[in-house]
């Protein structure tokens, strides 16, 4: 039987622990992609495993209209951790659903339809999120809605010109991920905040890849001192279990329209999320991401590469011969797993528990291959 959603790689993963995964022959790989940033506290962290096992033995699932202690605790926790005044929490199952909800809430609350997004952006694959995703290959053949205006990422003037009285939302990644790991220039997120304030549009920050400490603070937007009207988070929130969240300000929550999901806030993913947040905070992993990330980028900058960019442990290395060749060599020759971000960028999104010695291993391997 063959799969049809993903092209499978020739490594069958059987287990994981900390920053490592192991194939069916017992070979150890350093996971510098954390499975698309879904393992921020490392694979199979014992606290997360214990929380999942405990919750699963009590209650696997109950629909969202019945309160559960675990779901309520996660609502409160995310509201407390959110930047600004984003006290309202909608739980879902993935990042694209979180972005879909944010765009729906903004359109209902404003009574408008237009969305402003950035070139190179990636926000998901459901139709609303896909409409705000730039790359044409993801959009072809799906009759994607056309009420999104794309502007150059980092161009504050172009953004301000695009946001008008017909705009429901501006959606931005504080650091673009799939688009090549591009951090927002100084002042850009504030310019987006100003444009939304002037027109009444909702500012949405997609922190699905940048959130949860990856860039050196719990939320990447905190480093710019800018709070959005909605923030989306997923990927590592449940340490790999399917869960996402849309955090929204009161004015959006009060007129958000009718939205629902069968599996919203399932007890087991909520338990995993609470345990993940505990580990992130208790072990100071955002600070570790900042320090190890700075060290890693400094070392990578000494290599014969076109560019090194990113924030914390969200790092892009632009190579001269193409990313796929480098990724294959890293995996087969050095037992290091990483990710692409376009054709020329090797993307590093490791567990936030990695150390400088792990960074040295990656730099040495890249130096040999490049």
Q: What is the CATH number of the domain that holds 20?
A: 3.90.1150.10
Domain count, the chain: 2
125 assigned binding-site residue: yes
Write the DSSP symbol of residue 184: P
Are 121 and 183 in contact by the 8 Å Cβ rule? The answer is no
Q: Which is nearest to 86 in space by CA: 96, 95, 94, 77?
A: 77
d(Cα 138, Cα 127) in Å, to the nearest integer?
Answer: 11
Q: Strand order of the sheet with strand 28-31?
A: 13-17, 20-23, 28-31, 336-337
Q: Does residue 95 belong to any structural domain of this protein?
A: yes
- Its domain, for residue 335, covers 13-45+284-369
284 assigned binding-site residue: no
Q: Does residue 103 belong to any structural domain of this protein?
A: yes
d(Cα 313, Cα 111) in Å, to the nearest integer?
Answer: 39
342 assigned binding-site residue: no
47 assigned binding-site residue: no
The two beta strands, 307-311 and 13-17, are unpaired
Q: Which is nearest to 95 in space by CA: 212, 1, 180, 257?
A: 212
d(Cα 109, Cα 28) in Å, to the nearest integer?
Answer: 50
Q: Which is nearest to 338 in space by CA: 330, 111, 303, 263?
A: 330
- Same domain, yes or no: 88 and 121: yes
344 assigned binding-site residue: no
d(Cα 266, Cα 131) in Å, to the nearest integer?
Answer: 28
Q: Does residue 5 belong to any structural domain of this protein?
A: no
List the pLDDT tens digit at each of the 370 positions of the chain.
455 555 667 889 999 999 999 999 999 999 999 999 999 999 999 999 999 999 999 999 999 889 999 999 999 999 999 999 999 999 999 999 999 999 999 999 999 999 999 999 999 999 999 999 999 999 999 989 999 999 999 999 999 999 999 999 999 999 999 999 999 999 999 999 999 999 999 999 999 999 999 999 999 999 999 999 999 999 999 999 999 999 999 999 999 999 999 999 999 999 999 999 999 999 999 999 999 999 999 999 999 999 999 999 999 999 988 899 999 999 999 999 999 999 999 999 999 999 999 999 999 999 999 8
13 assigned binding-site residue: no
Interhelix angle 267-282/46-58, nearest 10 degrees? 150
**HSE on the CB side for 129, CA within 13 Å?**
19
Q: Return the pLDDT at 171.
A: 98
Q: Does residue 338 belong to any structural domain of this protein?
A: yes
d(Cα 38, Cα 190) in Å, to the nearest integer?
Answer: 28
Which secondary structure element, helix H or strand E, spans residue 304, and what is its range?
none
265 assigned binding-site residue: no
356 assigned binding-site residue: no
Q: Does residue 155 belong to any structural domain of this protein?
A: yes
Are 85 and 250 in contact by the 8 Å Cβ rule? The answer is yes
Q: Say which residues have a Cβ less than 8 Å from residue 69's Cβ, sequence separation at least 6.
A: none
CATH number at residue 165: 3.40.640.10
Write the DSSP symbol of residue 201: P
Residue where one domain finishes, among candidates 229, 260, 282: 282
């Amino acid at each position: 039987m063959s799969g049809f959603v993903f092209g499978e790689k020739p490594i069958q993963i059987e287990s994981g622990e900390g920053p490592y995964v192991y194939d069916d022959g017992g070979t150890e790989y350093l996971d510098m992609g954390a499975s698309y940033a879904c393992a921020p506290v490392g694979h199979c962290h014992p606290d997360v495993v214990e929380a999942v096992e405990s919750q699963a033995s009590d209650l696997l699932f109950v629909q969202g209209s019945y309160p559960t202690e675990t779901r309520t605790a996660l609502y409160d926790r995310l509201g407390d951790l959110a930047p600004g005044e984003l006290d309202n929490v909608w739980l879902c199952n993935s990042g694209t659903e979180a972005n879909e909800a944010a765009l729906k809430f903004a359109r209902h609350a404003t009574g408008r339809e237009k969305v402003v997004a950035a070139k190179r952006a990636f926000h998901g694959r459901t139709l609303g999120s896909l409409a705000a995703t730039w790359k044409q290959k993801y959009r072809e053949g799906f009759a994607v809605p056309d009420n999104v205006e794309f502007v150059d990422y980092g161009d504050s003037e172009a953004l301000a010109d695009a946001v008008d009285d017909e705009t429901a939302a501006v959606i931005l990644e504080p650091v673009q991920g799939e688009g090549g790991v591009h951090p927002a220039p100084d002042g850009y997120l504030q310019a987006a905040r100003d444009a939304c304030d002037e027109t009444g549009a909702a500012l949405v920050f997609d922190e699905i890849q940048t959130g949860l400490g990856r860039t050196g603070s719990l939320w990447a937007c905190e480093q710019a001192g800018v709070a959005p009207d909605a923030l989306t988070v997923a990927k590592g929130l449940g340490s790999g279990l399917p869960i996402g969240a849309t955090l929204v300000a009161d004015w959006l929550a009060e007129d958000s329209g009718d939205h629902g999901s069968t599996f919203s806030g399932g007890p087991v993913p909520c338990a995993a999320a609470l345990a993940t947040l505990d580990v992130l905070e208790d072990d100071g992993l955002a600070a570790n991401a900042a320090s190890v990330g700075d060290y890693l980028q400094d070392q990578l900058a000494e290599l014969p590469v076109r560019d090194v960019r990113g924030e914390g442990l969200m790092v892009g290395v632009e190579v001269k011969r193409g990313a796929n060749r480098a990724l294959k060599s890293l995996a087969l020759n050095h037992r290091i797993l990483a990710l692409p971000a376009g054709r020329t960028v090797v993307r590093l999104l490791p567990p936030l528990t990695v150390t400088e010695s792990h960074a040295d291993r990656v730099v040495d391997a890249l130096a040999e291959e490049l």
